[in-house]
Amino acid sequence: MRNTILSSVRQSLCSARFWLGAVFIALVLFLTSMDVVTEALRSDTPLAYGYHGDFILKALNADAITICLPIVCALPYAASFVDDVKTNFLKLYISRTSNRGYILGKAAGCLVSGGAVVVLGLWLAYGVSAALFSPLESPLDPDAPDPAYTMTLLRNCGLIFLSGGFWSLFGMTMSALMESKYIAYAAPFIIYYVLIILCERYFTSLYVVYPKAWLSPGEEWAMGRWGPALVILELIAVTVLCFGAAVRKRVRGL
């Protein structure tokens, strides 16, 4: 089982779609803030210390990640189960492992790649931002505290990883239930925005199922950042169980 899980995770992280998705996230962060980039590069005065980190955090809090997350997270591995079914690889794979190993392997690969593709894109953007803006920044004032943007970004990455992993896993589960590759990409996007519309227009107090609140939790969460993390983990557990039921049903039909 361990080899099956590691093989699925390795396959999901080594795919071209995973790396293209990470690059796409980095590009979106810069393209949606191009006016800020242009203004900073044309400035005649030195930029504030830590400008490169502040730039990424502001881009992260904008709608760029919100728009891209349900789409990009599904690209690396969400359609892998349907691909196995359509190519008849599922029957060969199951004969060499167990149903449980196959289910956990697919779920792990989808969860890790869906979360890591967004996180990696953020750090790629952070690296480019540091290389671009750091030479233009003024030195840190000895009397001023270090803004520690790196630690702030690290704290945000946990929720981003869980959210991206869940939506990727959700796409794979829906595609397994409907046996459609396109559902793997469309389902996360559709449900993501349906929840946003419902929470913003009709159920404003229902922040527990508000995807934006998972990424930037406010004071309404009793447990702080642990609140949305626990909610997403519960949703992941339920989704894995549903995916397992769909796989077992499909395997019985082989």
DSSP string computed for 4-53: HHHHHHHHHHSSHHHHHHHHHHHHHHHHTTHHHHHHHHH-SSPBPTTHHH
Give the integer Cα–Cα distance in Å for 53 and 175.
38
Higher pLDDT residue, 231 or 49?
231
Give mean pLDDT, residues 190-213: 87
Give the integer Cα–Cα distance in Å for 28 and 31.
5
Q: What pLDDT is recorded for position 30?
A: 87
Give mean pLDDT, residues 18-40: 88
Q: What pLDDT is recorded for position 133?
A: 84
pTM for this model (two decimals): 0.90
Q: What pLDDT is recorded for position 43?
A: 78
Predicted confidence (pLDDT) per residue in 99-147, tens digit = 888 899 999 999 999 999 999 999 999 899 888 888 887 776 666 666 6
pLDDT band at 202 (very low <50, low <70, confident <90, very high): confident
Question: Which residue in 88, 86, 35 sits closest to 59, CA to CA?
Answer: 35
Q: What pLDDT is recorded for position 117?
A: 95
Give mean pLDDT, residues 192-203: 88
Res 253 pLDDT > 70: no
Give mean pLDDT, residues 185-209: 88
3-state secondary structure of 147: coil
pLDDT band at 162 (very low <50, low <70, confident <90, very high): very high
Give mean pLDDT, residues 172-180: 92
